[in-house]
Chain A
Amino acid sequence: MFYIHQITCISPQQTFSDIDLNILNDVADNKLKVIEPSYEGIPLNILRRMGKAVRIGVGSALPLIKQKPDGIIIGTANGGMEDCIKFLNQIIDYNEGMLAPGNFVQSTTNAVAAQIGLMSRNTGYNITHVHRALAFENAMLDAAMMLHENPSANYLLGGLDEISAYNYNIDYLSGAYKKEKISNKDLFTIDSPGSIAGEGSAMFLVNKFSKNAIAEIEALQTLHTDDIDVVKNQLQLFIEKNNASGKPDLLLSGENGDNRLTDYYTEIENEVAKNISVARFKQMSGEYPTASAYAVWLACMILKDQNIPAHAVKKIGETKKYERIFIYNNYKGTQHSFILVSK
């Protein structure tokens, strides 16, 4: 599909500057919130208006847009939801009267890609995919199609979401998050429904050139279903189609500590990871719709450094040499993705 040449990530862990994946920062109130950098590249007059989603999106994109990509392709389920709700509340509080525009400007989902484009004076392709928990996967698919049509181009590809009070409360009431307070270190040992909330922004500079690439996105598949047999069948087809050039040597699992979803991950593990290593990442990122972008970033780091942080290891397989990583992610048991990343 395409190659990844540069990566950045703002997350609840030390992933942006002074990267150290062996340290696992703890959760507060079942929310893993991002460590925000100082955003030195964003003028204060622009920064003061940005909501968190826009800040982390632009902040993580800035180091990559120096390469002057031909377009910007972003996936986000909710964009700047916090600002959106502030704006909607204003409408009620002030009886549809005079409304401050700041929140509205930042509240649309495409504000991130737009702001990156404005700041870098990039007038190329600029699009935002908002397919809930498959938003990043659809952004990847778009990048693959754009690169198919324009093989000499470079694109900035990213996935991001923030924890907003509104979404957290709705998801909490629906049972998406654990009722009891837990540490992310215990995410996979506590047998209860729900996960912990997370947020983050991962950005990638992608093109069709294999030389000096960090990784290749070999294949991608998404599906909407809550039927575990459909997931298994689709997985078998995916394996048959993509295993010709070798089997994966690591399963990067989107397991999130929600015991209602364990069966999906167990089935996938049984299918693809009988003798290979298994690692997990949501103790680092928390659960959020575009967490698969974090998974792709982590896969790139593992391929680059040949090291899996100890807290992420679920099982060590026959080989510790990682050249092909299979990512399986699942959001609320209905949106699934398979991503194959190789060196």
Chain B
Amino acid sequence: MEKEALKLQLKKQIVEFLNLMAVKPEDIKDDEPLFGEGLGLDSIDSIELIVLLNREYGIDIKDPKEGRKVLVDVNTMVDYIEKHRTK
């Protein structure tokens, strides 16, 4: 899958998994911070995103430090998915 297509797919999955009612996938910027400012996600969302990566891409993140590096924005998540996906 091309990188741009993967980004759009991931954005759709983020909106669906986190039930972001007022957000359209195409409105999420690739470099928009997921936590704090930007999308304004919180700690429960971070667990939901780790579950998303596990279920959709077969990626198992067990180290919280690694999670913090991955769950920065859509760009960092897509880079990590491309390198570590098992499905």
Contacts and interface: CB of A to CB of B under 8 A. Distances in A.
A100 B22 contact: no
B41 to A, nearest CB: 8
A101 interface: yes
A45 B42 contact: yes
Contacts of A45: 40, 42
- The interface residues of chain B, by DSSP majority, are classed as helix
Interface residues of B, number: 16
B82 interface: no
Contact of B47 (A44, A48, A100): A100
B40 A105 contact: no
B21 A100 contact: no
- The interface residues of chain A, by DSSP majority, are classed as loop
Interface string A88-106: 0000001001111110010
A94 B51 CA distance: 11
A98 B54 contact: yes
B21 A102 contact: no
A101 B22 contact: no
A49 B44 contact: yes
Contact of A44 (B22, B44, B51): B22
A307 B40 CA distance: 48
B28 to A, nearest CB: 15
Given A98-B50, A98-B54, A48 B18 contact: yes
22 contacts: A44-B21, A44-B22, A45-B40, A45-B42, A47-B21, A48-B18, A48-B19, A48-B20, A48-B21, A49-B19, A98-B51, A98-B54, A98-B60, A100-B17, A100-B47, A100-B51, A101-B47, A101-B48, A102-B19, A102-B44, A102-B48, A105-B44
Closest 3 interchain pairs by CB? A48-B19, A100-B51, A98-B54
Interface of A: 44-45, 47-49, 94, 97-102, 105
